[in-house]
Amino acid sequence: MSETLDTVFAALADPTRREILRMLLEDDMAVTDVAEPFEMSLAAISKHLVILTRAGLISQEKRGRVKWCKLEPDALRDASVWMQGFGQFEPVNLDAFERFLASEMPKQD
C-alpha cells in the first residue's frame, strides 16, 4: 500500500494535475479539451495525464480517433483512509501558538 500511496501523493503534488482532476469531476473530457485552459503544449499535458493514469487517478480510452479521460475516484480511497487516521488529533490553533512563541522568544532588534 505504501508504494501506491507514494504514487498517488506524487501525482497530487503538482497543481496542474490537481486542476485536471478538478476539471474531470464535471465529466469525461477529450485530451484536447483537458489541454485547452493550460498554457503548455499538448505533449506536456499528455505527460501529466500519463502520471495521473499510472497513479490510477484517471483512465484513458480511445473513442473513434479521440482519446478521452475519465476520473477514477476509487483511486483516492486508500489515500483518504490514510489521511483520516490523522483526524484523531486536535487541529492546531495557529494564532495561540504564535502568541505562545512570541511570549517565549526573546525580542530581537
Backbone angles phi, psi at 81, to 5 degrees: -60, -45
Name all domains of the chain by residue range, CATH numbers in brackets.
2-104 (1.10.10.10)
Confidence of residue 104 (pLDDT cuts 50, 70, 90): confident
Q: CA separation (Å) from 22 to 6, 28, 57, 103?
A: 20, 11, 11, 42
Angle at Cα 12 formed by Cα 53 and Cα 16, nearest 5°?
Answer: 85
Q: Residue 81 is placed in which grid cell?
A: 483512509
pLDDT tens digits, 33-92: 999 999 999 999 999 999 999 999 999 999 999 999 999 988 888 888 888 877 766 666
pLDDT above 90 (res 12): yes
